[in-house]
Structure 1
């Protein structure tokens, strides 16, 4: 989810915590628990600072180790311990329990969008991305705003948000069923489909789709359940040669390949170097595929420069390549 929704969930969880008599009857403990749930609801995304180092490092680790089982426990312990040091003489176990629950909820809701998380690490490095809730979902965010409004009017916060979350369960079920209907239509039409990658949009009626068959990649758009193919690419395996082996050793390309689930590749030869480009097909925007990894390799198989990330024009991409150091 987006940062705003995560924080809103943290505030809502702080309200639900008043179900615990020790929290509801102690303003100091309530304040500590609220701080814990708000900070805990955002803590796994502290890895955003990795962007300051490089996009490759960010791709390698965002929603990876910071969303893993050991780090979920670590965030809960760290945040509750820091709050306890600032506000001592309170039941630490209560503070830790609600703070850790906020972290768990953060990781849990992240698995429903197209980006996903590596929530099962260290047992599995697989990305879990169910792809039926948008990163920013206006229905979910608005539901929290409505809940805050009722809270300010004097309604019981625990009852209010438990009611809202009960209704959101049905909303999640609705979105899941919408996804399954689309997948079923694709399976009926194409027969043997090796992969279907769904990306919901803010518009409830519109979905982005990337479809993998034995011979082709299809990029599609669904509107009101009607599926329209907007691009088709021949599925050509990445060659097993020295040039590609060199490309895969580049840190930016390696980070891209570790994350991307469906991509195609291009190779363009220039006078004194070859450019290899990997293009993720899940993020089509206005006839452009902004998520790429590009590497330039000399005739002697030396990496000249490279880049991975989101760029929305060829000029911007070439500027990024000029700025990157190998």
Structure 2
């Protein structure tokens, strides 16, 4: 989920913690849990700082080890270790358990996005991405804001957020049902589909769809149970020639290949350089595919420059390549 949603979820966990008698009856525990819930709800996303390095590093590592099983166990210990000296009379176990809930909930809700997480690492490095909830979901964020407003005007925060989370669980079930019917509609539209990748949007009934068959890629938009094919491409494997082998040595190309399950490729050549471009087919927006990886190679196949990330115009892409 986005940062804002994780923040309001931290407040929600702090509110629910007031139902714990140990928290409610001990001021130090209550104060410590409130801070720990807010910190814990954000902690796994500390890898966002990798953006300051480069997009390739961020792409390879975001929602990776910081969202893994060991991290979910270690984050609460680290947070409590820092907080406890400031609240020595707090109940250590109850402080830990509510911090753990905040961290766990952060990682848990992230698996429902299309981006997903490596939540079962080190058992498997597979990305778990259920693709039913958009990274920013207006309804989920709105439910939390309503809860905070009710808390602010005097409603019991524990029972308020328990009720709201019950509503959100129903909302998640409805999203799974909606996605299920989209899959049925896609299989009717493209009977030979071998794999269907569905990405939610901010609109409840609208989905982005990438479809893989034996020899074709289809890009579609789904609305309710209606599927519209927007683009179709021949499924041509990435060639194993010298140009591609050289391109794969680039950090941006390598990161893109580790992340994208469905893409098309282009190789262009002029008198000065080769250009290898990989285009992710999952994120079509207004007729444009904004998530790409590009590398330029000289005539000796040495890397000149490269870039991976979100680009919405060719001019900006060329500027990025110049900067890189």
On whether the aligned pair clears a TM of 0.5, the verdict is: yes
Q: Which residue is 2:18 aligned to?
A: 18
| Cα RMSD for the two superposed structures | 1.1
Question: Higher mean Cα deviation, 196-205 or 52-61?
Answer: 196-205
SS of 2:105's equivalent? helix
State how far apart, in whole Å, the 2-side matches of 1:130 and 1:266 are. 29
State how far apart, in whole Å, the 2-side matches of 1:228 and 1:123 are. 38
Matching of residue 7 in structure 1 with residue 7 in structure 2: yes
Q: TM-score, normalised by structure 1?
A: 0.97
- The runs of 5 or more residues in structure 1 that have no matched partner are none
Quote the offset at 1:225 in angstroms: 2.4
**1:106-146 deviation line (CA, Å, top 9, x unaligned):** 00000001110000101101011111101111111111111
Q: Which residue is 1:170 aligned to?
A: 170
Question: Higher mean Cα deviation, 116-125 or 80-89?
Answer: 80-89
Q: Which residue is 1:40 aligned to?
A: 40
Q: TM-score, normalised by structure 2?
A: 0.98
SS of 1:249's equivalent? coil
SS of 1:10's equivalent? helix
Matching of residue 151 in structure 1 with residue 164 in structure 2: no
Quote the offset at 1:309 in angstroms: 0.7
- Does the CA contact (< 8 Å) of 2:26 and 2:90 recur in 1? no
**1:28-70 deviation line (CA, Å, top 9, x unaligned):** 2111101101110011111111000000100010001111111
Q: Which runs of 4+ in 1 moved over 3 A?
A: none
Q: Which residue is 1:93 aligned to?
A: 93
Quote the offset at 1:87 in angstroms: 2.1
**1:257-309 deviation line (CA, Å, top 9, x unaligned):** 11111111111111121100001111111111111110111221211111111
Question: Higher mean Cα deviation, 26-35 or 275-284?
Answer: 26-35
Quote the offset at 1:190 in angstroms: 1.8
Q: Which residue is 1:246 aligned to?
A: 246
Quote the offset at 1:73 in angstroms: 1.5
State how far apart, in whole Å, the 2-side matches of 1:271 and 1:144 are. 57
Quote the offset at 1:248 in angstroms: 0.9
SS of 1:288's equivalent? coil
Where does 1:285-296 land on structure 2 (aligned, <5 Å)? 285-296=285-296
Matching of residue 72 in structure 1 with residue 72 in structure 2: yes
State how far apart, in whole Å, the 1-side matches of 2:314 and 2:228 are. 26
SS of 2:248's equivalent? helix
**1:296-324 deviation line (CA, Å, top 9, x unaligned):** 11221211111111111001001111111
